[in-house]
Each structure stands twice: as structure tokens, then as C-alpha cells.
Amino acid sequence: MKIMEDRQQQKKDAELIAGLKSLPLQNVPPDLTDRVMERISTGRSSLLKTILNYLGQTQTVSFRPVYALSMLLVICGAFFIGRFSQPVSQTPASLPAPASQLLPAVIEVPQSAYLVGRGLLQTDGSHELALAFLKRASMLEPENPEFAYWEGVGNWVNGNLEQERQSYLRGLEANPADLPLLINLGHSYLGEKRYHEALDAYRTVLASRPAEPSALYNSGLIYRALGMRTDEISSWKSYLQANREGRKAYRAVNRLHAYGDYTFRDYRIGQQHAIINQQKLLNNRESAPSQSAELADIVTTLEQDQTLNLEVVVFIENDLEAARETAVNIKKQISAISSAGTQGRVGVSWFDVPETIQKPDGGQDDSLSEGLLLFTHRTKGIERGTSI
């Protein structure tokens, strides 16, 4: 009898499972998060109240956005379990539209609102709520430049470009020398082609941080747009002094070459590319450490690939001896900073004629009174055949 009852129960369970599997899948309601937050905000011992009490504490806050999102997923899971555990024919009671924007207002600790907003910025579909938290942090502590900065970022993410700029300006009222605020303010003006205002912001940045990459590069773009060629060329050179890799660096080199300025050149060394200030290597009065720094990447490639041979070719118009001296000096610099494995793999040549450079667009060739070519070739292994 017991066996028959167990089998009947198993049959019922199997039918129930099959029935559940046959239920049509439903799309997640777009207002699910708000409805969940509305429900959990009404209970006397709600989880939301616990979280808010924790965030409102004055002790050091340790917030992990992933953990907060995990908690929200658990809440959503509990909501679905409660919904689908009811009979299929039962229709969930409609809930009034929640006032989810009130949530940031209950936080009194600015750092807590800031951390929540930063975490929500990383989550798709939560950018408006993130901005509400970031605004709350700025309101509670308006003199904090980091809060103003991220409030601006939140506005930018939400497409509020004018409000973004106002966030940066408000932060700068309390901290006029804050570089992140100034940089983003410059970006904001540049995005709207307000070139002179953007340039003022970038100049203020460069006055205290002369090698700031984004300020240097964007200043070059502004000078280019305004037709200020001399200042544009100066910006590209300043940018390349500290930035030799990446798409922007190669664009800066190409823009200099378009103006006939070959201070910096891109050399193919084995499978690598190296942007080098050739003027430093052609100038024998340049300090040895400065020249060694220009050659460091080439030396590293030679040390890593023992099959590579480097050829150094120097052109100096009407001065063969100066060309020879320069070529030999470059080889000495390479030997001084490289391991013994590179010895014998650096060849030198020199000529007393100008270097001619062909324009890739078919325009008139450029002629340099002095120039430097660096290229590599591989040592081919010789295999001895066997005869019978």
C-alpha cells in the first residue's frame, strides 16, 4: 500500500513539474526593481531599512557595488518565487508607482551616497538612479571636488551636457586648481567646439602639470581647428616627448610629417614599432643619458631577439665626417646600454647627401639636410646538406 501511495505521489510530482515547464515564459516587467523597492520599503523590519541604517552610520564605510547588486538580485529572486508560488490563475495586485527618487534623500552620509552612485554607474539601466545618489553626495558635501567630478560624469552618462559642465564649474568654485575638474571641463567645452574656453581650461592644467597627455593632445586639436600651425606643432612635440605608444602618438607623428617636421619618426624594429626623437640622436652635443633613453626600446628588442641585426644610416649634407661621427656615436650608445649579446649585430653607414623622403600621398618629396634611418634584418641560419 505504501509503495502504491509513493508511486502515485511521484506521478503527481512529475505531472506538476511537466505542467510548470509548459507554462509560457514571461518578460521581466520593466518596473520590477521599483516595485520590489516599494514592497520592501513598507515592512517594519524591511531589508531596505536595514541597508539604509547601515549606510547612515558614521563609521568607516566599506561598500562593494557587486555585493549590493547581488543583494538586489536576491530580492528580485524572492519576489519571483513569491509570485510563481501562487496559483497560475491568480493575478498579482497592482502596485502604485513608487517614488524611488526618495531613496537617495534618506542618506545623510555623503560618502555612502557617493559610493552607491559610483557602483550604479557600472550597471546598465541604473544611470539615472546613479546620478540621483551622486547629486545627493554633492549636496551634502559641496566642497568635495571628487563628488562634483563624478556628479558631472553622471550627468554626461545621462546626456545632460549643460548640467555636466555646471557640475565641474561648481566644483571649481571651491577648488579652482583641481586638475580632474579642469580636464573634464576642457573636454566639455571641446565637445561643443567652444575652442577658446576649452583651451583656457587646458592651459590652466598644463601650467601645473606640463606633461598631462589629454590636455596636450586636445590642445593640438584645438590649434589645428583654429589654424594656429606653430602652436599645433609645439603641442604634438610636447605630447610625443612623454607618449610614444598608441593611436594618438602615431597620429601626432603623421601630423608633424604633414607639415614637413621630422623631429619624431616611427621606425620598424623587427616586429615592433618605435617612435624616436631623431634630432636627439643626430645632435652630438645631446647628453648621453638623453640619447640612451631614445635607444632603450631598440636595445630591448635586440636583446630579446638574437636573430636581429640593426643598421644605422646617417645623412648629413656636405659633411661626411660629421655623418660618420654621428653614426659611430649611436653605435657606442647602443653598446653602452646593451648586453654582450648585441655586439657585432649593429652596423653603421653614413653619407654626405640630404635624405629624401617620399610623401605617401604622392606630393612633393621632402628633403632633410640631416636624417637618420634605422632598420633591422635577420641573420639567416645556414644548413649544411648531407650527401650520400
pLDDT of res. 92? 36
pLDDT of res. 320? 96
Strand partners, 274: 267
pLDDT at 198 over 60: yes
- Give a yes or no: residue 152 inside a domain: no
Closest by CA to 206, choosing from 164, 239, 230, 244, is 239
Share of the chain above pLDDT 70, in %: 71
- Cα 32 to Cα 30: distance, rounded to the nearest angstrom: 6
- Cα 209 to Cα 179: distance, rounded to the nearest angstrom: 9
- Give a yes or no: residue 284 inside a domain: yes
Helix (H) or strand (E) holding 374: strand 370-378
- What is the average per-residue pLDDT within 48-75? 42
More confident residue, 388 or 108: 108
- Give a yes or no: residue 366 inside a domain: yes
Structural domain including 276 reads 265-380
pLDDT of res. 2? 54
Identify the band that residue 10 occupies on the pLDDT scale cut at 50, 70 and 90: low
- Give a yes or no: residue 328 inside a domain: yes
C-alpha cell at 167: 557640475
- Give a yes or no: residue 332 inside a domain: yes
At 280, which CATH number?
3.30.1330
| 8 A C-beta contact, residue 160 and residue 188 | no
How many Å is the Cα radius of gyration of the chain? Answer: 33
- Give a yes or no: residue 216 inside a domain: no
List, for residues 17-42, the tens digit of each pLDDT value: 555 445 444 444 444 334 433 433 33
pLDDT at 323 over 90: yes
The pLDDT mean for the chain works out to: 79
pLDDT of res. 55? 46
Helix (H) or strand (E) holding 248: helix 247-258
- Give a yes or no: residue 11 inside a domain: no
**Number of separate domains in the chain:** 1
- Give a yes or no: residue 306 inside a domain: yes
Judged by average pLDDT, the poorest of 129-133, 323-327, 341-345 is 341-345
C-alpha dihedral sign at 173, 179, 181, 187: positive
